[in-house]
Structure 1
Amino acid sequence: MYSPHRRGLLLGAAAGAAGLAILGRPSIGNAAVALQGPLKPNVYRFRLGSFEVTTILDGLAPNDGPHPTFGADQTPEAAAELATANFLPADTGVNSFTPVVVNTGTQVILFDTGNGPARRPAVGNLAASLTAAGILPESVDIVVLTHFHGDHIGGLMEGETAAFPNAAYVAGRTEYDFWTHPDRLSGPTENSAKLVQANVVPYAERMNFIEPGADIITGITAIEAFGHSPGHMAYNIESEGRRLVLTADTANHYVMSLQKPDWEVRFDMDKAKAAATRKSIFGMLAADKVPFVGYHMPFPAVGYVEPMGDGFRYVAAGYQFDL
C-alpha cells in the first residue's frame, strides 16, 4: 500500500546517496576554482526627461573612520554607535567618488573630473570608466567644476595634456578667486592651491566664471552651497518636468553627514556654514521629494532623503528611473 511516510524516507535516502556521490566526485582537472575578487559596477545611466544622466565611479578608497573625519566635535563612542546602528563598521570606512555626465542630446556636460591617476593612481579611474560608458573624452563639451578640492580637479590633466581637449569650462567665481589668491600658496591651503595652479589655472582663458543662480544651459542652474569650500556649488538639473539635484560635496557621508548634519566634517572649510547648507539643501530635497546625486554617496550615488530626527535618512533610488 502507498505510504507518504515510506515514500518520503525512500526519496530522502536516494537524495542522500546522490549527495554523497557528488561530494565524493573529484573536480574537473582536480584543481580548485579560483576566486576572482569583488566586482562592483562603475557606470549607471538613466533618463531624466529628455536628458540622459550617467554616474561614473572614479574609485573607492578605504580609510579609518568614521571618527574623527566625521563627528570631530563628538566622542569616538558616539560616532561608533551611529555607525553600528546603521550596520557599518565602527573603525573603517570607504570613500567613493562619483563624477556625473549629463547628455542633453546636443551637448555632453561633465561635472567634476575625479582624482586623476597621477594624483591617486588606485582611485583615478574616470577616463577608463568614461570609455566603458561609451563617452569619449573629446566628446565632452563642457566641464563643470563644483569646487576645487583635489578629488574633483585631479582628472583635468593627463600628464601635460588636457584630458578633455574640446571642452569649455565652468567654475564659480568665488571658488576661483579664493584658490588662486597668492596667500593660498602657503599654510594649510598650500597643497590644494598648488594643484589648482597646475590643473585649473591653465584653463582660465576657456573658463566661464559664474555666480549662484546662473544657468549653465537651459535646465541646469547653479545653487549656492558654500561652506564645504568657499565657493562650493550644487546644481539643479531639470528636463520635461523631471528634476534632479547634483549636491556634490554638500554631504560627504550617507549616514554621518545626513543623519547628523550638525556634526563637524574634517573636509569642510567653514564647518558652521557647511552644516547650515546641509540642513537647507537636504531640507528642501526632503520637503519636495526631489532625488539627488551626491559625489560621495554609495554608488550609483542616486537617492532621496526623508526627515529623521534632527537630520535625514538616505533612501537609495530603486526602479524610479527605469520607468
Structure 2
Amino acid sequence: MKKFLAVLLLSLVVSSSAWAGGIETTTLFDRKSNPDTSILVGVDAEQKARYFPDGKMSGNVLAFLVKIKGREILFDAGLPDGHIAEELKKNGLAAGDVKTILLTHLHRDHYGGLVDADGKAAFPNAEVYVSRAERAYWVDEKKDPNVIRALAQYAGRVQVFEPGDKVMPGVKALDTSGHTPGHVSFLLKSGKDKLLVIGDLIHFSRIQLPLPEVAVKYDVDPAKAVQARKRIFDYACEKRIPMAGMHVPFPGMLKLKKAGAGYEEY
C-alpha cells in the first residue's frame, strides 16, 4: 500500500506544473525491462563494473500524455502487449479519446501499442505522426512487416513530417537521428514554458549521463546517436529545459546540468 501511494504521489507531481508550467505532462508506465550489460557499446569491463557492480541493469518503457495549448497528445504508444491503454484509462481517457499520436521512432516498444490483440487500430480515432525518414527506412527500405501492418490500420491517418517542422501548435520536431535514421525529439513550448520529449536519446541514465559516449546495440548509427545525445543535452543544460525520456527511470523526467565531460541531474 505504501509503495502504491508513493507511485501515485509521484505521478501527481509529474502531472503538475512543477516540471514545465503550462505543459501538463502525465507519465504512462508500460513495462519494466532487465537487460544485460552486453548491450552497451563503447564501454569497457571496468566501467561496466563501476556503474553496474552486480552486472544487472534495469529500464522502463514509458509513454507520455501531454496537454499543450488545449490539445492532448500521446507521445509514443508502447509495446503491442503493453499497458498504455490501461494507463490512459487511469487518467480518464478511453483509447477512442486519443486524437493525436506523435512517434519518436518506429522501434517495437514505441509503435507496437498502436494495434490491439486482434491486430486492429488500438486508437480508432487517432492520427499518427512519424518522420518521413523513419517511415521510409522501416517501410520502404527494411520492409518491416510489423511496422507495415501497424501503420496500415491507420490508413489515411498517417501523417509524415520533416525535422524542423511545427508538427502541432507549440510542438516542433528536432532531428535526433542516429538511434534510428529518422529518430526525432520534440520541443514543446507554451508561453515561457518548455519541454523536450527525447524518445530514445538515452536508455540507461546511470551510465550514459556520466559517460554520454556510451551507446547501445539498438543504435543503427552509434556515433551519430552519441552526437545527437550530446547536442540535445547541451542545449537542455544551457536553456534549463526539462526532458521526458521513454527509458528514463520513472517518472521519466530529467533536469540536467553539465558535470565534467558528462551530465548529472539536479
Report the TM-score, using the length of structure 1 for normalisation. 0.75
Asked if 2 retains the 8 angstrom alpha-carbon contact of 1:213 and 1:221, the reply is: yes
What is the letter of the counterpart of residue 262 of structure 2?
A: G
Describe the shift of the 1:116–1:37 C-alpha distance in structure 2 as closer, same or farther (beyond 3 A).
Answer: farther
Asked if 1 retains the 8 angstrom alpha-carbon contact of 2:131 and 2:162, the reply is: yes
The counterpart of 2:68, out of the listed 98, 101, 104, is 104
Asked if 2 retains the 8 angstrom alpha-carbon contact of 1:114 and 1:153, the reply is: yes
Name the CA distance, whole Å, in 1 between partners of 2:61 and 2:2. 21
Asked if 2 retains the 8 angstrom alpha-carbon contact of 1:62 and 1:92, the reply is: yes
Give percent identity, aligned residues only. Answer: 29
The counterpart of 1:61, out of the listed 19, 26, 33, is 33
Task: Tell me if 1:222 matches 2:173.
Answer: yes
Question: Cα distance, 1:75 vs. partner?
Answer: 2.1
Aligned residues: 258
Describe the shift of the 1:270–1:218 C-alpha distance in structure 2 as closer, same or farther (beyond 3 A).
Answer: same
Asked if 2 retains the 8 angstrom alpha-carbon contact of 1:286 and 1:307, the reply is: yes
Question: Cα distance, 1:204 vs. partner?
Answer: 4.4
Question: Cα distance, 1:116 vs. partner?
Answer: 2.2
Corresponding residue for residue 114 of structure 1: 78
Which runs of 5 or more residues in structure 1 are unaligned? 1-35, 84-88, 118-123, 186-192, 316-323
Question: Cα distance, 1:62 vs. partner?
Answer: 2.1
Describe the shift of the 1:38–1:94 C-alpha distance in structure 2 as closer, same or farther (beyond 3 A).
Answer: farther
Question: Cα distance, 1:73 vs. partner?
Answer: 3.0
Corresponding residue for residue 86 of structure 1: none
The counterpart of 1:170, out of the listed 129, 134, 157, is 129
What is the letter of the counterpart of residue 46 of structure 1?
A: S
Task: Tell me if 1:80 matches 2:56.
Answer: no
Corresponding residue for residue 309 of structure 1: 260
Corresponding residue for residue 89 of structure 2: 131
Asked if 1 retains the 8 angstrom alpha-carbon contact of 2:27 and 2:252, the reply is: yes
Report the TM-score, using the length of structure 2 for normalisation. 0.90
Deviations 1:211-265 (A, max 9, x none): 0111122211101100000000000011121111111101111122221111231
Name the CA distance, whole Å, in 1 between partners of 2:228 and 2:94. 35
Corresponding residue for residue 24 of structure 2: 52
Q: How does 1:1-323 map to 2 (within 5 A)?
A: 39=4, 41=7, 43=11, 44-47=14-17, 48-64=20-36, 67-70=37-40, 72-83=41-52, 89-104=53-68, 106-117=70-81, 124-158=82-116, 159-181=118-140, 183-185=141-143, 193-315=144-266
Which runs of 5 or more residues in structure 2 are unaligned? none
Describe the shift of the 1:219–1:271 C-alpha distance in structure 2 as closer, same or farther (beyond 3 A).
Answer: same
Moved over 4 A (4+): 36-40
Question: Cα distance, 1:77 vs. partner?
Answer: 2.3
Asked if 2 retains the 8 angstrom alpha-carbon contact of 1:81 and 1:90, the reply is: no
Deviations 1:62-81 (A, max 9, x none): 232xx2222x3332222111
Name the CA distance, whole Å, in 2 between partners of 1:106 and 1:290. 21
What is the letter of the counterpart of residue 147 of structure 1?
A: H
Asked if 1 retains the 8 angstrom alpha-carbon contact of 2:209 and 2:263, the reply is: yes
Secondary structure of residue in 2 paired with 1:277: helix
Asked if 2 retains the 8 angstrom alpha-carbon contact of 1:59 and 1:96, the reply is: yes
Secondary structure of residue in 2 paired with 1:116: coil
